Structure 1
Amino acid sequence: MDLNPVIAAVQAAGKPLLDRFRAAAVPDTLAGIVAAIDANDAASLAMLRPALEQARPQARWAEDELAAGALPAGEWWVTDPVEGNINHVHGTTEWAVTATLVRDNQPVLTAVHLPLTGQTYAATAGGGATLDGVPLRVSDKTSLDAALVGTGQARPGEDPEALRRMGRSVAAMLESALVTRVSVPATLPLLQVAAGRMDVFWQHSRVRSGLMAGALLVAEAGGTVTGGDGEPWGPASADFVAAAPGVHAATLAVLAGTR
């Protein structure tokens, strides 16, 4: 499938979000935050969904961007119309529009657009990963003590044990890596891993929409993407690890000690 319609779709969906970002005031109540998040989603989806459904009408639509686990067989659009919506609502800069075509639970094509910078990351299975058409490559680091690593909370109301594991893993990485970041959403640090600016991202979660795009981008940029057990990652995996190959094994070893 041609990437161009998907790139055009995420770029078009970012335009109303950019207008809303410049005009919006930060809500001061939970109800106000939820309302702003819903309004952002609606503005982006009004552009994103019709374009993607026209580009690939046989693909079904994964409705819930916070859903977890494997999808039924076949082709699906897994999207996040405002990846990092909570950041957008609070006036911070880490947010994007993502669209990933998934076939039999494997991402085969993705585009991620950052409206604030105008940058678009894209990848196809077997075709490489790019930033605005320029090929991406993960870092060449081979030592975890020189690595910039990160993780984050996948969603509000995450399973308490997943949160406890996250806390243990952060503590372990603070002792093992050069610098450890905790941020939201997952896609943004995964872009950095694909571009060689970060070296590792891990997450204790099965939320699909935050991982599908980044998994393909990192893999196509030469990175290693697995579950926490070292097996190939899929949406049914309990954990997610994307890393430069030279630090992947050391990352798994650190995380294994936090189970």
Structure 2
Amino acid sequence: MSSAAPVPVSAALSAPVPVPEAADAALLSAVTRAVEDAGATLRDRWTRHARGVSLAEVVGALQANDDAVLAVLREPLLQARPGSRWAEDELAGGALPPGEWWVVDPAEGNINHVHGMADWAVTATLVRDNRPELTVVHLPLTGDTYTATAGGGARRNGRPLTVSARTDLAAALTGTGQAKPGEDARTLRRIGDSVTAMLLNGLVVRVSVPATLQLVHVAAGSTDAFWQFSDVRSGLVAGALLVSEAGGTVTDLAGAPWTAASRDFLAAAPGVHAAARAVLAPLA
């Protein structure tokens, strides 16, 4: 286990030549418009009742949502950053090849959307040489938009975000969840064991999907920590940048700075990160 002090994602991933501030602001504005427009498409597809009965029908509804959003989101993002590429598989993990990539979830929390629940969003993150550089997360039903740029802070609707000042894990609200359907049996057991361990050491544990919507709460200081035994990058890159830029600590469960190649994930307020990692690390 590493004994090095955890390093926030934005500090650990600060090697690329920075984009000039004006260009960065223009890019963020263009991405925000594209994501919010895509969010309107997803909002128009939402109903208060569940859609689909059989597994095939549910999967079909999920795919239809993805297709509808990507039809209006993909090209604006690629045009906003000429030369960038698209990470096609939203459930993939691991490091990307060098260069700039859009890591997008057209319907983050798609399963909630299809079941008539409200916890879903559209996310887009520009990853440069495996470092998240810019992200936009839009929640169409509330109208909230979360943004962050590496070194530029995190915001909700333009107002700065700051993680919780909590220092006692026993008073902490924490969360975890399943990263994708079909997780292997060992991962599912680790999730269950980790929930039990955190219930014994924390105050309350939320187990829900999607990851990004738990992570925006960590960035906003409403939740104190989130962990996941998975490397599904589309569910983590946006939240990792938001939490880090809001002053949180983002590592793997060994305490090393988190990257897209990490096999597990912990984002927390600095005051409870070490205690949370001590609870979870034996399960890694």
Give SS of 1:22's match. coil
Instruction: Give yes or no for the alignment of 1:112 onto 2:137.
Output: yes
Q: Would the aligned equivalents of 1:201 and 1:242 in 2 still touch at CA under 8 Å? A: yes
Using the size of structure 1 for normalisation, the TM-score is 0.98
Task: Return the match for 1:251 from 256, 270, 276.
Answer: 276
CA 1:23/1:253 → structure 2, altered by over 3 Å: closer, same or farther? closer
Identity among equivalent positions (%) equals 66
Amino acid in the other structure paired with 2:32: I
The more displaced of 99-108 and 23-32 is: 23-32
Moved over 6 A (4+): none
The one-character-per-residue Cα deviations of 1:183-213 (angstroms, maximum 9, x if unpaired) are 0110000000000000000000010000000
Task: Return the match for 1:65 from 74, 90, 99.
Answer: 90
Q: How far apart, CA to CA, are the structure 2 residues paired with 1:258 and 1:96?
A: 30
Task: Show structure 2 runs of 5+ residues with no match.
Answer: 1-23
Q: Would the aligned equivalents of 1:172 and 1:258 in 2 still touch at CA under 8 Å? A: no
Q: How far apart, CA to CA, are the structure 2 residues paired with 1:160 and 1:127?
A: 40
Show the counterpart of 1:96: 121
Amino acid in the other structure paired with 1:200: A
Aligned residue pairs, count? 259
Give SS of 1:3's match. helix
Show the counterpart of 1:27: 52
Give SS of 1:216's match. helix
Q: How far apart, CA to CA, are the structure 1 residues paired with 2:184 and 2:127?
A: 25
The one-character-per-residue Cα deviations of 1:188-247 (angstroms, maximum 9, x if unpaired) are 000000000000000000100000000000000000000010000001111100000000
Q: How far apart, CA to CA, are the structure 2 residues paired with 1:135 and 1:231?
A: 26
Instruction: Give yes or no for the alignment of 1:240 onto 2:265.
Output: yes
Show the counterpart of 2:3: none
Instruction: Give yes or no for the alignment of 1:185 onto 2:210.
Output: yes
Q: Which has the higher contact order (CA 8 A, sep 6+)?
A: 2
**Structure 1 position 160, deviation (Å):** 2.0
**Structure 1 position 25, deviation (Å):** 4.7
Amino acid in the other structure paired with 2:221: G
Give SS of 1:209's match. helix
CA 1:255/1:12 → structure 2, altered by over 3 Å: closer, same or farther? same
The one-character-per-residue Cα deviations of 1:14-50 (angstroms, maximum 9, x if unpaired) are 1111111038652111111011001100111011101
Using the size of structure 2 for normalisation, the TM-score is 0.89
The more displaced of 187-196 and 158-167 is: 158-167
Q: How far apart, CA to CA, are the structure 2 residues paired with 1:38 and 1:23?
A: 19
CA 1:31/1:222 → structure 2, altered by over 3 Å: closer, same or farther? same
Task: Return the match for 1:139 from 150, 153, 164.
Answer: 164
Q: How far apart, CA to CA, are the structure 2 residues paired with 1:34 and 1:188?
A: 21
Instruction: Give yes or no for the alignment of 1:208 onto 2:233.
Output: yes
Q: How far apart, CA to CA, are the structure 2 residues paired with 1:228 and 1:104?
A: 23
Amino acid in the other structure paired with 1:137: T
Task: Return the match for 1:160 from 185, 191, 198.
Answer: 185
Give SS of 1:198's match. coil
Amino acid in the other structure paired with 1:145: A
Q: How far apart, CA to CA, are the structure 2 residues paired with 1:197 and 1:128?
A: 17
The one-character-per-residue Cα deviations of 1:130-189 (angstroms, maximum 9, x if unpaired) are 000000000000000110000000001112221111111111001111100100110000
Show the counterpart of 1:16: 41
The one-character-per-residue Cα deviations of 1:72-122 (angstroms, maximum 9, x if unpaired) are 111100000000000000001110000000011110000000000011000
Amino acid in the other structure paired with 1:242: A
